[in-house]
Structure 1
Amino acid sequence: MKYREAEILVVGGGPAGLSAAIEAADRGAGVLLVDEQEDTGGQLVKQIHKFFGSGRHGAGTRGIDLANQLASKAQKLGVQLLQGMSAVGVFEDSVIFSDRDGSLFRFRASRGIIATGASERAVAFPGWTLPGVITAGAAQTFVNLYRVVVGQKVLVIGSGNVGLVVAYQLLQAGSEVAGIVEMRPEIGGWGVHASKVKRLGVPILTGMSVKEARGRDRVEEVVLCIVDQDGTPSGEERIITVDTVCLAVGLSPRIEFPQWLGCRMGFSVSLGGYVPLHNSVMETGVPGWFVAGDAAGVEEASTGIEEGRLAGIAAATSLGYGKGTTCEEEIREIRESLNELRSGPFGRERRRAKERMESEYETG
């Protein structure tokens, strides 16, 4: 078993993990970042569209370009990046990782930052195991990374931002998108994304749910049912001929690692499920361990970047790096930025959930 020490260990190399590593290293801390993928950047490496919003939050930059910028900056600051390694065990004084060949590595650090991201949800229905039923993440991997068309005619399930963006990317790749199905009476994602697919002729079928996927050797058609506001089927059905069903039904925080650590957990529907309780600078109930990004509650990449910055600054400061008025001002500015990102109609619920998590953390 190989052994290595660092002042700060970052678990996860997505936007939150990279941002945390950058802030900590920029203050002089020795940082080791470990990621299970071969390329750092997390889900950003699949994002070929340009972000919008403010310049401070990456507006006008493609996700893949932002991932490369963050990784390059981390390397220039001396962050040690180790890819293709998964955490397999947590002990009182160290974390055990395994690489793709099964070799084990023991890493010890004075502080740790959990940035393990989120995993895709699935929805079960008759026929959901047929070839041709895939998740949105799988579709983005095929289309954006490997340039493989996933299907000729695709039905997307879920009208959140992920479903809307994936539908647009499928169109760009040459697939026909037969529709986007949403159980709720309103579209779940941002209007800017919905408008793009609508202009290209994609119908968004609100108030409908998947009843069944049919096919002999793969998906050939999907049966939809109209539902009321409570999600109860009305009995009226609609059949759509497709060869692919793309599930974009949400994400859940990956909490295995904080559970191994023994972090106290809280539950929030708006944050995607169970998340580690944490304070205003992202420290969990386990002293010296911080959390950031989707592992602390599913939000946008821009929010994950800001949370990662908070965690990185706090971890470095707790080791004596970068203390002072300037550091306090940066933390205040980041907190203000997070409040700004959570100020819209989709963000307010998440802001309240975060405040509740911090309150539960403080009250114990």
Structure 2
Amino acid sequence: MKEIEILVIGGGPAGLCAAAAAAELGAHVLVLERDSKPGGQLVKQTHKFFGSKKQYAGDRGIHIGDFLLEQVTESPLVEVWADTTALGIYEDGVVTAEKDNQHLKIKPARIIAATGASEKALMFPNNDLPGIYGAGAVQTLMNVAGVVPGKRVLMVGAGNIGLIVSYQLLQAGVEVAAIIEGAPTIGGYLVHASKVRRAGVPIMTSFTVKEAYGKETLEGAIVCQLDEKWQPIPGTEQDIKADVMCLAVGLSPLTELLWQADCKMKYVGELSGHVPVRSRFMETTRQGLYVAGDVSGVEEASAAMVEGRLAGVSAALSLGYGKDVGCKMQADAMEELKELRSGPTGEKTMQGLWKLTGKEGAIC
């Protein structure tokens, strides 16, 4: 049985920032990461970030991930276990994990769950044909493994992920036949949409996949237009030839461990699914269990990093570390989140937080 003050489950941007912040206040931290290299989504994000310098604006995701990992590994108070999967959080506070084909037990004083999110699928005939991927999987193939997924791609979804991955496919020499989007407007930033449009890629709003086809692998898809009630309009079908289809239709918080830990959960559509009810300091209804990042509601990586810092500081403060400086760090993080969520891009998140925790939660 390994005992530790703070256990961080998930070594993505939220988890790494949580570990660094807790260690800065003097707490001993163990980070569990199921992949071979911590960094989460950052390890495949070659685009530059927006925001302010506090959220590494102007830096590419891959470089931000390396910087966060360096911060953590250089701290004598932080231990990182890669290739390790958390299996359960039990009533007695024990967390079990699998590492090197061994079943391990960990007894932390505090837990921070930063498990992220998984890609959503889309239902249509033949959606299991080889060649149909989640957009994140395609991004991993290209930017981590150095493998192009095919020759001609149909992208489904015009949010930031769909737009960014489309541009990265073009950079890799892959033809993007079209981007289709079920909503009447593009969900991603205009700067990303403008880049793919300048490259000659059409963005078709109010369109969805009617069916995919192919003998052994994907050969193409029939798409059709949607009316204002999201119903297919007969006679609007188009045949788009493609050997790859990318589904960029959203993410779902990975909350299995939180359900098992008996945290109070609530479905909030604006936050992309069932999320844990938590305080403005990121503590769930199970005392001593904190959350950060997409597991608490899907947002951009910049918000995940700030939430991670807030959760890490809050957990360390609850153990008696860094009272004066920690309270200021909490206040700074909450103000930073408020800034990130201001304006039109953060309106959806603010609405979700209002539904989840009330006025106080929406402010933070």
Contact 1:8 1:31 in 2 (8 A): yes
Answering whether residue 196 of structure 2 is matched by residue 210 of structure 1, we say no
For 1:209 and 1:258, the matched residues in 2 are separated by 33
Q: Tell me the residue number matched to 1:108.
A: 107
Q: Tell me the residue number matched to 1:5.
A: 3
Contact 1:121 1:251 in 2 (8 A): yes
Q: Tell me the residue number matched to 1:171.
A: 170
Counterparts in 2 of 1:41 and 1:347: CA distance versus 1, 3 Å: same
For 1:87 and 1:76, the matched residues in 2 are separated by 24
Contact 2:282 2:310 in 1 (8 A): yes
Contact 1:294 1:304 in 2 (8 A): yes
Contact 1:277 1:361 in 2 (8 A): no
Q: Tell me the residue number matched to 1:269.
A: 269
What aligned pairs does 1:152-167 form with structure 2 within 5 A after superposition? 152-167=151-166
Match for 1:32 among 26, 30, 33?
30
Paired residue secondary structure (2:233)? strand
Deviations 1:166-212 (A, max 9, x none): 10111111100001000111101111111111111110011111001
For 1:107 and 1:355, the matched residues in 2 are separated by 35
Contact 2:268 2:355 in 1 (8 A): no
Contact 1:12 1:33 in 2 (8 A): yes
Q: Tell me the residue number matched to 1:328.
A: 327
For 2:86 and 2:333, the matched residues in 1 are separated by 29
What aligned pairs does 1:191-202 form with structure 2 within 5 A after superposition? 191-202=190-201
Q: Tell me the residue number matched to 1:223.
A: 222
Q: Tell me the residue number matched to 1:259.
A: 259
Contact 1:157 1:180 in 2 (8 A): yes
Deviations 1:77-126 (A, max 9, x none): 22100011111222213100012x43111111100100000000011211
The residue identity in structure 2 corresponding to 1:354 is L
Number of positions where the alignment pairs a residue of Structure 1 with one of Structure 2: 358
Match for 1:15 among 13, 16, 25?
13
The residue identity in structure 1 corresponding to 2:61 is G
> By how many angstroms is 1:340 displaced?
1.0
> By how many angstroms is 1:361 displaced?
10
What aligned pairs does 1:347-362 form with structure 2 within 5 A after superposition? 347-359=346-358
For 2:289 and 2:354, the matched residues in 1 are separated by 19
Q: Tell me the residue number matched to 2:43.
A: 45
Contact 2:158 2:180 in 1 (8 A): yes
Q: Percent identity?
A: 47
> By how many angstroms is 1:355 displaced?
3.3
The residue identity in structure 1 corresponding to 2:29 is V
For 1:361 and 1:302, the matched residues in 2 are separated by 21
For 2:289 and 2:51, the matched residues in 1 are separated by 31
> By how many angstroms is 1:356 displaced?
3.1
Answering whether residue 313 of structure 2 is matched by residue 313 of structure 1, we say yes
Paired residue secondary structure (1:234)? coil
Q: What are structure 1's unaligned runs of at least 5 residues?
A: none
Paired residue secondary structure (1:223)? strand
Q: Tell me the residue number matched to 1:89.
A: 88
For 1:207 and 1:89, the matched residues in 2 are separated by 42
Q: Tell me the residue number matched to 1:239.
A: 239
Contact 2:270 2:351 in 1 (8 A): no
TM-score (norm: length of structure 1): 0.96
Q: Tell me the residue number matched to 1:182.
A: 181
> By how many angstroms is 1:222 displaced?
0.8
Q: Tell me the residue number matched to 2:69.
A: 71
> By how many angstroms is 1:346 displaced?
2.5
> By how many angstroms is 1:20 displaced?
0.4
> By how many angstroms is 1:226 displaced?
1.0
> By how many angstroms is 1:157 displaced?
0.3
TM-score (norm: length of structure 2): 0.96
> By how many angstroms is 1:230 displaced?
1.2
Contact 1:134 1:244 in 2 (8 A): yes
> By how many angstroms is 1:360 displaced?
9.6
Contact 2:160 2:189 in 1 (8 A): yes
> By how many angstroms is 1:343 displaced?
1.0
Q: Once superposed, what is the RMSD of the aligned Cα atoms?
A: 1.3
For 1:75 and 1:204, the matched residues in 2 are separated by 43
Contact 2:25 2:326 in 1 (8 A): no
For 2:242 and 2:287, the matched residues in 1 are separated by 52
Deviations 1:108-146 (A, max 9, x none): 110010000000001121111111111111101110011
Q: Tell me the residue number matched to 1:136.
A: 135
For 2:167 and 2:21, the matched residues in 1 are separated by 34
